[in-house]
Every structure is written in structure tokens, then in C-alpha cells.
Amino acid sequence: MPPNRTDRVARAGDAWRPRFHITGERNWINDPNGLVHWDGIYHVFFQANPQAPVWGPPRWGHVSSPDLVDWRRHPLALVPEPGGPDADGCWSGCLRVVDGQPALYYTGVVGADDANRVESVCRAWGSTDLTTWRKDRANPLVAGPPADHATGYHRDPFLWRDGDLHRMLIGSGSGGSDAHGQVLRYDSTDGGGWTYRGVFFEAPRRLEGMNLGQNWECPQLLVDGDRAALIVSCSDFSAEHPLMYVVWFVGKLVDGRFTGSYGGRLDHGDVFYAPAVTTDDLGRTLVWGWVQERLPADVQASVGHAGALSLPRVLRFDGHGLTTAPAPELAGLRVAEVEPDELGEQLELSVTVEGGEGRAGWQLRDGDAGLDVYVEADHVVVERRGAARLRAPLTSARPVTLRVVRDGSLLEVFAAGVSLTTRWYATSVGPAGVRPVASGGARTRDRRAWLLRDDAIA
């Protein structure tokens, strides 16, 4: 008897599940939070709803790794507390060391819908191994948006040190008839009492042909000498997928405010959102983002795991902007080098494209629903039947090495300083056919393929 739709979805759902990307033990996750390299171990926290494969009152999940390859699970770090300022959710935030002690700064939420929700800033103090957390008795440290602020958006604290001061950024929006994204700033001398200091940076909703949304979430600041970059996640209620994409601005800090211009997208796919950055002991800036799902609601309701974090990526200031590359440690995910033809759900492909103006790359086959990923002119392109083409502008000329990492339904493409993250829900379970494609004078060389670990996180 042929399998019915439910069986097919169950089998495919299992095949779609990422095996070496960070996911929840079960059910839903979204944003990475509280990233830190602590005593030689990478700790990643994340928004989690262990109760269902959909967004729900967020807790903070927690995993750690010595090498960015093998991940170990820890108990939930934060859970909402009835009657407290986080009764309806412990939303996104960061980890900082204050007076020698690890502290999570997070968004406490009371009120379930947009109209009555209060978004405050809360703090929890950690044990030295970062596995147990005690909420600060002074919570909320900031009770909600500044009095004169029109919108309730007041979330995702990001802290940095500036001389003797602790400074804090908060994601927000202007509200009103020309609603646009804003980042607000607070200052503190002790990390506990905060004073509002106004708008740190804002930009019109329409800029450089982009829609930058009505609200900005998860602001992240990178400072490199006298240069700075500000990363924000753009949300727009009226968009088909309201959590749209991530952009960066480049400029400098002047008297605790950012001045700068639009730089570009941090990832050129259609599912990467709410990234967080940290600096590790090697002096690198690492970034993880949330990789959203694109499943119909009824199908998503039946999967065991929804949402994942991207692979860790290294961010660099290069010339005038930010470049992205997968962390070199990820070579440790490779189990075996194989011929690039018939490959499984966990695989990596690499090819160097040179010559001509034409296109060259790979075709991944899934019955009739294949996916092409190739370099064309000065872009990387991902093309699927029935879906909009995704395009990423390359930051250097050919030859260009194109890397494709597939982990179940999660696909990340890296080339010449840019990344493109998407989902590919293949319907035929099992190995996908792969073949190189080249036309119009473009050529491929050094075609390689690896099977990757399917047990890097349990």
C-alpha cells in the first residue's frame, strides 16, 4: 500500500530535521541568545518552546561545545515566572560579565498580544559553569519603553563597555505615520540602574531600494578601532513573512551614538533572522542566526523539530564592509570524502567556478523538484521551481569557490564573503542526486563532496 500523506510527512519531517545544526531537544526554537566563549567552551542559548513546534512563551534553551562541532545539551536556563515581569516570556538578550559574574540581560514580557504587551529589561545571575541562573531581585531593571515613546517595541538588550560606562541598545521603532526602525540607548555606571539616552540610530523605512521595516529587533554592535557596524533584524507586519531579513550599517560611534550608512544584507537567503554576535578567545567575531521554517502550518504542526540556528560564521570588516565565512572548525563535521553524485541528507559540496560570464555550480535533484545553486555573472543564485530566485552579490571576481552545506531541509551557501541561507523540503526521502552544471563559458574545477556528521547534536 502506498504511504498516505501523514506517513510521508512523518518520514520527510524526520529527513528534514537538521543533525549538526543547533536545534531544540524537541519542538520549537528561534533566536540565538547569550553567546559567549567561556573557559574555552562555546555556550549558545536560544529562544525555545519545548511544548509545541510553533512559537510560544519563550524559555532559554542552552547548549555548549568545546570545538563548534559537537554540542551538548543543558537544562533550560530561563523560564517565565508567574507573577513576575517575565510571566509571559523570557525574550531575547545577551550574556555579559558584570563585577566578575556572568549575567543574562533579557527581555521580560508580560501580556500576550501586541496591544497590551510590556517589554522590560531583566537580568539573571549565573553559576560559574553557566548552568544555573538566579533572577535579579531588582527586576525589571527597566520597566518598559521610555514614557514619550509611541511604540511598545522595547526588546533584545545588547550591552557593551565604553570606558567606565555600561551601554545598552534596545530594538524598537518610531511608531506614527512614518513608522520606521530605531535602536534606543541606555547608560549605566553599575549595570543595574539604567538611564535612557535617546535614539542611538534610526533610518527611514524605505532606503536604497530596501524596505527596512517598521521595527528593528536584536540590534548587534561591532566595534573595530574607530569603525563600527550596526546589525538589525527588520520586521514589517504587512510583509508575507513579517520577520524579513537582517541588514548592517557601517560607520562610527560619535558620543555614544552611531552615524553611518546602509551597508547591505547580512545573509541573502529568505529564512535567516535575529542573529547574535560574540567575540571568542581567538579574537574572532562569530555570528549565529535563526533559520526559520517555510512549512505550511498543518505540516509544521506535525514535525518533531521546528527552527534551527545557522552554522557559526566568522564576520570580518573588509574594505568598507562586513564579510561572512563559515568557521574553519566546521571541516570537523566531515565524515568521508565521496564522489559528488549520489549524496545523503548531511552533505557538503565545494566547487571553484572560473572563466567566462556564464553560470556554473550544482544541481540537486529531488524527483521533479530540483534546486540549482550556481555562480552567474557576479552573483550566487539559488533557484527552485515555483519559488523566487535568491541572489547574493559576490564581493570578489572569479575564480570563486562555492560551498553548499545541506543538513536535512537546511541549506547554507557560502561564496566570496557572502552567505545565503534557505530551506529545501525535498519530498523524496533518501539520497539526492547531485550533478555539476556549467554553461556560457563558465567552468568548474576542484569539485569535491563530503558526507557530514548526523550526530553532532543529539
Q: What residue type is assigned to position 197 of the chain?
A: R
Coil, helix or strand at residue 58: coil
- Rank residues 5 and 241 by Cβ distance to ligand FRU and give the closer one: 241
Is the separation of the CB atoms in 230 and 221 below 8 Å? yes
Options 7, 14, 31, 368, the catalytic residue: 31
Q: What's the one-letter identity of residue 407?
A: D
Residue 159 Cα distances to 21, 104, 153, 181, 432, angstroms: 27, 10, 18, 19, 44
Instruction: Establish if 120 lies at the interface with ligand FRU (CB under 6 A).
Output: no
Which one among 23, 27, 30, 421 touches ligand FRU, defined by CB under 6 A? Answer: 30
274 binds ligand FRU (CB under 6 A): yes
Binding mask 171-210 toward ligand FRU (x if CB under 6 A, else -) reads x---------------------------------------
- Contact between 267 and ligand FRU by CB under 6 A: the answer reads no
Distance CA 82, CA 72 (A): 29
Cell 534553551 -> residue: 61
For ligand FRU, which is the closer residue by CB, 218 or 420? 218
Taking the complex as a whole, how short is the minimal distance between the CB of residue 292 and ligand FRU, in angstroms?
9
Cell 560570464 -> residue: 357
Q: Does 218 bind ligand FRU (CB under 6 A)?
A: yes
Among 86, 88, 156, 348, binds ligand FRU (CB under 6 A): 156
Q: What is the DSSP string of 397-413?
A: PSSEEEEEEEETTEEEE
Binding residue for ligand FRU (CB under 6 A) from 86, 217, 376, 407?
217
List 106's β-bridge partners, or say none.
93, 122
- Nearest Cα to Cα of residue 217 among 184, 193, 192: 184
Site string for ligand FRU, 40-79 (x = CB under 6 A): -------x----------x---------------------
Query: Residues 9, 16, 22, 31: which binds ligand FRU (CB under 6 A)?
Result: 31
- The least distance separating ligand FRU from the CB of residue 197, rounded to whole angstroms, comes to 21
Nearer to ligand FRU, 156 or 280 (CB): 156
CA pair distance 173, 213, nearest whole angstrom: 9
As a whole number of angstroms, the distance between CA 344 and CA 351 comes to: 18
CA distance 193 to 190: 7
Cα–Cα distance, 179 to 181 (Å, whole number): 7
The position carrying cell 570588516 is 317
Is residue 117 at the binding interface for ligand FRU, with CB under 6 A as the rule?
Answer: no
Residue 91 in the binding site for ligand FRU (CB under 6 A): yes
In degrees rounded to 5, what are phi and psi of residue 299?
A: -75, -45
Judged by CB under 6 A, the residue of 43, 96, 155, 313 near ligand FRU is: 155
**Is 158 an interacting residue with respect to ligand FRU (CB under 6 A)?**
no
Size of the site for ligand FRU (CB under 6 A): 15
The CB-of-74 to ligand FRU minimum distance in angstroms stands at 19
Q: Provide, rounded to whole angstroms, the least separation between the CB of residue 171 and ligand FRU.
A: 6
Nearer to ligand FRU, 175 or 399 (CB): 175
* Cβ-contact 125, 99 below 8 angstroms: no
Pairing assessment for the beta strands 346-354 and 257-265 based on DSSP bridges: unpaired
HSE (side-chain half, CA atoms, 13 Å) at 423: 21
**31 counts as catalytic:** yes
**Cross-strand bridge partners of residue 361:** 374, 437
Selected from 183, 221, 232, 243, the binder of ligand FRU by CB under 6 A is 243
Nearer CB in complex with ligand FRU: 171/191? 171
> Minimum Å distance from CB 200 to ligand FRU?
16
Residues 319, 307: Cα–Cα separation, whole Å: 34
Q: Which is nearer to ligand FRU, 274 or 353 (CB)?
A: 274
* Beta carbon of residue 420, minimum distance to ligand FRU (angstroms, whole number): 19
How far apart (Å, rounded) are the C-alpha atoms in residues 103 and 90? 14
Could you give the C-alpha distances from 40 to 34, 65, 282, in angstroms and in order?
A: 16, 9, 10
Find the DSSP H helices in 46-163.
none
Indicate the residue among 217 and 407 with the shorter CB distance to ligand FRU. 217
- Measured from the CB atom, the residue of 89 and 340 that comes closer to ligand FRU is 89
Mapped onto helix, strand or coil, the DSSP state of residue 211 is: strand
Nearer to ligand FRU, 211 or 352 (CB): 211
Q: Name residue 199's beta-bridge partners.
A: 184
Q: Which residues are catalytic?
A: 31
Binding site for ligand FRU (CB under 6 A): 30-31, 47, 58, 91-92, 107, 155-156, 171, 217-218, 243, 273-274
